[in-house]
């Protein structure tokens, strides 16, 4: 809620503040407005946490904030999003885009899986769809596996599961998850767009691709300030390259799953359409489950549908 909090503070701050003082004011204002903490408690606790040099300023500013009935210039400020994200959601999804953005200001509180791993509901639905597309199991490669929730969440039919990750640090975290929840999984560190697997190696490939993450801003709330609109075009290049590597790995008759925790048209429909145009040897698979909205030949969950991540999924079977 940084943008909203800064708007509350702005009328009462007339000079540039040291980072620690600004952080304290933001936390105090958040308590006052968003948590509805009683003013005496929010102000006193915040003043007690700052250096003495700033205690008078923090006390004065927060007491003024406590009396404010904010006049929001627009909803992007009120609900604390960059303008481009707010506008993109409304242009793409209308009122449902607005509902999604508001929903993502309250993070999902998922229950643990039966094995104890805590995973969002939309991610579980992706693993279920992977299983449903390949009921006979076999060998599966998860090309972008960290942190490991989808790979460890696959069903028991798979005889071999390979979890690939490009970043060594994230691969270390992936190994910890695998050891704790599915030790038979083989972890590989390689570039998912140019992996070391043999051609026609797998019965199924999951491409849970790097994306803008704009459907998961409830879980990664600071990402709204880190991602840029220009980055989406760069990400689609990577998504296309990962799908091409998946094609190389997949045997005839095998199933390919593409999923992203975003709901932009460029990273969902346009990536899937471009894949269809490049690969006539693949046919689209139907998705099961009422939780998936129809999204051209794939499925979609918007964040406000089930108070989980926004997620898009497309699945194909290789005919030859």
Catalytic residues: 261
DSSP, collapsed to helix, strand or coil, labels residue 205 as strand
- Helix ranges (H only) for the chain are 2-9, 19-33, 39-49, 52-66, 75-78, 83-93, 95-103, 121-133, 149-152, 168-181, 223-226, 231-249, 269-278, 303-306
Considering only CA atoms, which of 18, 165, 1, 160 is closest in space to residue 77? Answer: 1
DSSP, collapsed to helix, strand or coil, labels residue 28 as helix
How far apart (Å, rounded) are the C-alpha atoms in residues 85 and 103? 14
Do 226 and 178 meet the contact criterion of CB atoms below 8 Å apart? no
Percent composition of the chain: helix, strand, coil (DSSP 3-state, to 5): 45, 15, 40
Strand pairing category for 250-260 and 311-318: antiparallel
Write the CB contacts of 50 (distance below 8 Å, at least 6 apart in sequence). Answer: 20, 21, 24, 58
How far apart (Å, rounded) are the C-alpha atoms in residues 206 and 80? 34
Q: Which residue do the tokens 């009462």 mark?
A: 12
Element (H, E) at 160: strand 158-165
Quick one: how far is CA 180 from the chain centroid?
23
How far apart (Å, rounded) are the C-alpha atoms in residues 190 and 144? 10
């Amino acid at each position: 809620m940084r943008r909203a909090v800064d708007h509350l503070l702005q009328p009462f701050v007339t000079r540039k503040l040291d980072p620690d003082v600004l952080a304290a004011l933001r936390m105090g204002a958040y308590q006052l407005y968003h948590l509805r903490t009683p003013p005496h408690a929010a102000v006193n606790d915040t003043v007690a946490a700052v250096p003495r040099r700033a205690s008078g300023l923090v006390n004065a500013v927060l007491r003024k904030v406590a009396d404010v009935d904010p006049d929001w210039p627009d909803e992007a400020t009120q609900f604390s999003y960059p303008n481009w994200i707010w506008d993109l959601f409304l242009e793409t999804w209308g009122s449902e885009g607005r509902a999604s953005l508001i929903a993502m200001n309250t993070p999902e509180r998922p229950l643990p899986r039966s094995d104890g791993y805590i995973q969002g509901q939309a991610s579980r639905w992706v693993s279920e769809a992977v299983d449903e597309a390949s009921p006979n199991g076999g060998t599966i490669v998860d090309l972008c596996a960290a942190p490991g929730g989808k790979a460890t969440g696959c069903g028991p039919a798979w005889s071999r599961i390979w979890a690939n990750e490009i970043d060594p640090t994230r691969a270390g975290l992936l190994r910890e998850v695998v050891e704790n929840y599915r030790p038979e999984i083989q972890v590989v560190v390689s570039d998912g767009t140019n992996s070391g697997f043999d051609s026609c190696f797998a019965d199924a490939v999951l491409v849970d691709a790097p994306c803008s993450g704009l459907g998961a801003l409830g879980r990664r709330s600071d990402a709204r300030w880190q991602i840029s609109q220009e980055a989406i075009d760069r990400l689609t290049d990577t998504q296309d390259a990962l799908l091409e590597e998946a094609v190389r790995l997949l045997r005839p008759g095998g199933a390919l799953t593409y999923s992203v925790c975003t709901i932009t048209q460029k990273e969902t429909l346009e990536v899937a359409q471009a894949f269809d145009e490049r690969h006539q040897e693949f046919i689209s698979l139907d998705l099961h489950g009422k939780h998936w909205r129809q999204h051209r030949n794939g499925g979609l969950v918007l964040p406000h549908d089930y108070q989980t991540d926004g997620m898009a999924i497309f699945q194909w079977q290789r005919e030859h």
